[in-house]
Homo-oligomer: A and B are copies of this chain.
């Protein structure tokens, strides 16, 4: 029996990346993809075999069509996407190497998505046959409309009995429409079952300054009793080419820690958190344990570092094999 749907909501941008290690000032071509944190989660889930639909607002141009088709290619359902005025947000990516950092320039203001308004999406229709709703802290940071629709969606999801997950993902450069994260985020987190975030996010969004992850999680849970799990990835950046990652999770009882992956030749750093999120959801909707979830999630994230683009193209089988340490780094014939 196919599982019920996962619904994600958020902005999708055109990703324009300079080829290989070219700098912005030296390239005369860009690779083109369409990506966004929440849509990356939906696309990963679709590739893992989980029905997923993404909700967003696109400009009514060929670029909106192209972005829609990139979701369709991955198997994400697109029937709830709305189209209208405004532009397609863009982000420019320059890949770093060694000591040189990777750089993203966002050009996303006044997008078709930013102009979304409450009532535009029929959430009760969207949430039919769905079991999970996922949002991130990027959406409420974009515009008052986006924040309002995000709240509207979370509320509707709860009413429809869905599990709600939120990746706080605080971005300082957003939040320019007159509200701050601390104004908006508490109202969303208080309706969310599962939170991805670290102590810095808790501080920026909830004014919780505790630096110990476990204690900070306990504090969040006390404040927001709906929250049942908090999880976060930890990254050690030896260089742009070499990172180490693992994950930890507080479920109200235990602090679980995953295996650590040594990522020695990074191909693409973007979307690795979304790969983790998709891995978690995949395991939880298949009734696996928290430990299994973070092991699968962090292995998914590790594989994503070897894959070009924002979306994790690793299959469930490949991720499971990495969790077991089988067939790793071989030539499979």
Closest chain B CB from A102 CB (angstroms) = 5
A26 within 8 A of B: yes
Instruction: Say if the beta carbon of A121 comes within 8 Å of chain B.
Output: no
A207 at the interface (CB under 8 A from B): no
Contacts of A308 in B (CB 8 A): 20-23, 26
Complex interface bits, A18-53 against B, C-beta within 8 A gives 1, otherwise 0: 001111111111111100000000000000000000
The reply to whether A327 and B109 contact each other, CB–CB distance below 8 Å, is: no
In the complex, the answer to whether A171 meets B329 with C-beta atoms within 8 Å is no
- Distance from A80 Cβ to chain B, minimum over Cβ atoms (Å): 15
How far in angstroms is the closest Cβ of chain B from A105? Answer: 6
Please tell me if the beta carbons of A99 and B63 are within 8 angstroms of each other in the complex: no
Q: A261 within 8 Å of B by Cβ?
A: yes
A240-B70 in contact (CB<8A): no
Q: Which residues of B contact A109 (CB under 8 A)?
A: 87, 110
Determine whether A157 belongs to the interface, using a CB cutoff of 8 Å to chain B. no
Please provide the chain A residues from 80 to 127 with a CB less than 8 Å away from any CB of chain B in the complex. Answer: 87-88, 90, 92, 94, 96-107, 109-110
- CB of B63 within 8 A of CB of A329, answer no
Mask, A302-314, CB within 8 Å of B = 1, is 1101111100011
What is the distance, in angstroms, from A236's C-beta to the closest C-beta of chain B? 10
Give the residue name and chain of the B residue nearest to A333 (CB): B104
A228 at the interface (CB under 8 A from B): no
User: Which residues 232-288 in A have Cβ within 8 Å of B in the complex?
Assistant: 237-243, 261, 263-267, 269-270
A62 to chain B, nearest CB (A): 4
Min distance, Cβ A301 to any Cβ of chain B, angstroms: 11
Q: How large is the interface on A (under 10, 10 to 19, 20 to 34, 35 or more residues)?
A: 35 or more
User: Smallest CB–CB gap between A285 and chain B, Å?
Assistant: 21
A69: interface (CB < 8 Å): yes
Question: How many angstroms between the C-alpha atoms of A331 and B310 in the bound complex?
Answer: 14
The chain B residue with its CB closest to the CB of A86 is: B109
A126-140 contacts to B (CB < 8 Å)? none
Query: Which B residues are in CB contact (< 8 Å) with A22?
Result: 308
Residue A318 CB within 8 A of the other chain: yes
A308 to B100, CA, bound (A): 12
B20, B61, B102, B322: the one contacting A332 at CB < 8 Å is B102
Q: Is the CB of B28 within 8 A of A28?
A: yes
CB of A330 within 8 Å of the partner chain: yes
- Report whether B25 and A28 are in contact in the complex, using a CB–CB cutoff of 8 Å: no
Give Cα A271 to B251, complex, Å. Answer: 49
CB distance from A311 to the nearest CB of B (A): 9
A interface residues (Cβ-Cβ under 8 A, vs B): 16, 20-33, 61-63, 65-66, 69-70, 72-75, 87-88, 90, 92, 94, 96-107, 109-110, 171, 173, 237-243, 261, 263-267, 269-270, 302-303, 305-309, 313-314, 318, 322, 327-333
Question: 11 A-B contacts, Cβ less than 8 Å apart?
Answer: A21-B267, A24-B63, A62-B94, A62-B105, A69-B74, A97-B267, A99-B263, A101-B328, A101-B329, A103-B332, A269-B331
